[in-house]
Structure 1
Amino acid sequence: MLLLIPGPVQTRPEVRAAMAVDIAPWDRDFFPEYIAIREKLRDVAGGVAGQHACLPLQGAGHFITEAAIRSFIPPQGQPGAGRLLIPMNGAYAERMARLAREAGRAVVTLPCPDTRGVTPAEIALALAADPAISHVGVVYSETGSGIVNDVPAIGAVVREHGRRMIVDAVSAFGALPFDLKAQPEVDAVVFTSNKCIEGLPGLGFAICPVERVEQAAGQAGSWSFDLADVYATAQRAGWGSFRFTPPVQALHAFGIALDIFLAEGGQPARLARYRENCRILYEGGRALGLKPYLDWKQQGPIIALFHQPEHPGFGLQRFVDALKRRGVLISNFHNTVEPTFRIGCIGHVGPDEIRFALGAMRGALDELGVRRRDAA
């Protein structure tokens, strides 16, 4: 089965095979492997040894995002409490806002359509209008629609206004460029094991400036979601130690996937492959009569969306089932206001797999009675 969703992604056989071992996470023989993963990820993020730390956390991307919000933004009523500005141009921005509110943090929303990235000028106006905003929370790659927010450009504005930033790079890290050395305004860039590094689910990571982590001690309001405590544990017990029992097999497999990522050429090579995947899918979908959700100039490389055909024979689940019978599995839901379907361009896939998927899409549409003139 060809898995074309924006995560978990299609993985290589050797990554899956790495799960088939029993490992004690507290075994000192495992410590060097875990330390190496942390150091390699710090380097991929443009971090510097001694200045930046990789802070892992068990769970989904929502967990590590919440941990960053809790750790770096004090709750309302406490000294230093600020407000979190979030450009609302997708489902994952909405989720970030909910995580922050339910953690007792004040949120300022910046309305923006989910068909384009927020502009630095829009961020600048919002920051100038509200001095109480201490942080900007931005989703780098919005998998709800496929857009990309320009994190380096937004960061420059945030830096100019003397504010801080939290970057949700869950669907971006490893593909879209990011450099902590060039973005000192960033408190945390967060991501997971099962997206563009092409590992398996179970782990989130935050790469953070050490100085900021040390200042964050005691303000998370949660033991589980306290990045300062993750850092303190590493300081006390060593960088090969985990606070609580980790998904250690997923961590071991992630180390294999990370080595493959680096051997492939790292972020530039991964981005080039995903961009080509997306181009073939975008153009191939149009050739089938499908209408892309985004203009090409707004289309990110991670996931492509198409409007659902206005045809009585088309139903999203029926389309998903027809594709599955042809060996392709896509998401059976959408996060856009208008009905769409989405197809991931990431994972251990290349142009041949995308062309195979387009053939399956043609067959599925034919099965549902949707002709090209109906789909457009």
Structure 2
Amino acid sequence: MLLLIPGPVQTRPEVKAAMAQDIAPWDRDFQAVYARIRERILAVAGGIPGVHATLPIQGAGHFVTEAALRSFVAPGAKVLVPMNGAYASRMARLAREAGRIVVELPLPDTRGAVAADILPALDADPSIGTVAMVFNETGSGIVNDAAGIGDALRGRGVRLVLDAVSAFGVLPFPLAEHPECDVLVFTSGKCLEGMPGMGFAVARMDRAEACAGQAGSWSLDLSDVLAHARRSGWGSIRFTPPVQAIAAFDAALDLYEAEGGQRARLARYAANRDVLYDGILALGLRPYLAREEQGPVIVTVHQPADPRFDLMAFVEALKRRGVLISNFYNTAAPTMRIGTIGAITPDDMRRAVGAIGAALDEVLPRAA
């Protein structure tokens, strides 16, 4: 089966094989693996040793995103969220339900946010101390200009919390160049092509220490993750983790480095995207985004206007042809979400385009 969703993604055999073992989380041999992973992540993030640290949290991306918001935005403080996608809406909800004051900035979900969108909102309310934003929106496929926005925030003394869940390892955002960023977060089962189960924050240690005690949750307190690492060692973890997923992630990082790192992976995903985007057009379908706004992680497509079209029937027809896509959408207009990330190639995408065409013929047969 060719898995084309924006995470969890299709993985290599080496990654799957790494899970086929029993592991004691606090065994010294495994602690060495865990400590090594933290260092490797810091390098991918472009962080500075001694300034930034990798702070893991078990669970899905929502868990580590909530941990970042709780840990770096004080209760009752204002946080600006650019609202241009489903995951921005989720980020706003996480912050609001954690007792932070969310200032929503409505933007269209058909283009990425830029600094010119953000600065007027900060001018209008100087009490906003943090911007929390999604780097790559897998609802529509847009990419927000995290680097440009970060540069603008740095000049204002405003902090940044960056949800890089579906961007990390592919879209560059070197932390050494962005001291305004308190923390970025991502998960193991996205662009680094590991298994799901672990969330990772890469954070400034001075900011984590300065914000200690404000999370309101032991489990989701990144400053406590840092304190534990300093107390018990970087190979130690607070609570029982999904150890097999961590072992698989170590193998996935080997493959990432062998491929050539961020530049090489972005090039492959961009090639996947281009094949799919062009193929969708050739089938007479309409991409949700203009080409210049289309990111490399997911291509969202308008559903056919034919009233006979049923998304679930199409997904099942496609699955019978060996291709699995999302069976839901996150846009106001009815769409289809087709991922371009994971251990897949442009040739896989060509096969997927052929399967999409055949599935469409099945669910929307032409009149004789």
Match of 1:272 among 267, 272, 281: 267
Counterpart of 1:349 in 2: which secondary structure? coil
Distance 1:18 1:33 in 2: 12
> Normalising by the residue count of structure 2, what TM-score does the alignment of the two structures yield?
0.99
Are 1:16 and 2:11 counterparts?
Answer: no
After superposition, the C-alpha distances for 1:213-268 in whole angstroms (9 at most, x for unaligned) are 11111110000000000001001100000000000000000000011101111000
Partner of 1:325: 320
Report 1:343-362 matches (<5 A): 343-362=338-357
Deviation (angstroms), 1:369: 2.2
Distance 2:184 2:22 in 1: 31
Counterpart of 1:114 in 2: which secondary structure? coil
Report 1:176-255 matches (<5 A): 176-255=171-250
RMSD over aligned Cα atoms:
1.0
Partner of 1:282: 277
Are 1:309 and 2:304 counterparts?
Answer: yes
Distance 1:239 1:341 in 2: 42
Deviation (angstroms), 1:32: 1.1
Distance 2:101 2:365 in 1: 47
After superposition, the C-alpha distances for 1:258-279 in whole angstroms (9 at most, x for unaligned) are 1110111100000000000000
Percent same amino acid among aligned pairs? 64
Summarize the Cα distance change of 1:48–1:306 in structure 2 as closer, same or farther, 3 Å threshold: same
Distance 2:364 2:233 in 1: 61
Match of 2:154 among 134, 159, 163: 159
Partner of 2:71: 71
Counterpart of 2:103, as a letter, is: V
Distance 1:366 1:29 in 2: 54
Distance 2:172 2:29 in 1: 33
User: Matched residue pairs, number?
Assistant: 367
Distance 1:31 1:305 in 2: 41
Report 1:37-116 matches (<5 A): 37-76=37-76, 82-116=77-111
Counterpart of 2:29 in 1: which secondary structure? coil
Deviation (angstroms), 1:339: 0.2
Contact 1:311–1:370, Cα closer than 8 Å, also in 2: no
Counterpart of 1:244 in 2: which secondary structure? coil
Distance 1:369 1:153 in 2: 44
Distance 1:286 1:326 in 2: 20
Distance 1:89 1:105 in 2: 20
- Runs ≥4 in structure 1, deviation > 4 angstroms? none
After superposition, the C-alpha distances for 1:185-222 in whole angstroms (9 at most, x for unaligned) are 00001000000000000000000111111111111000
Partner of 1:79: none
After superposition, the C-alpha distances for 1:144-163 in whole angstroms (9 at most, x for unaligned) are 00000010001011111110
Counterpart of 2:211, as a letter, is: A
Contact 1:313–1:370, Cα closer than 8 Å, also in 2: no
Deviation (angstroms), 1:288: 0.3
Contact 1:145–1:293, Cα closer than 8 Å, also in 2: yes
Counterpart of 2:351 in 1: which secondary structure? helix
Deviation (angstroms), 1:48: 1.2
Counterpart of 1:108 in 2: which secondary structure? strand
Deviation (angstroms), 1:370: 5.3
Counterpart of 2:56, as a letter, is: P
Partner of 1:6: 6
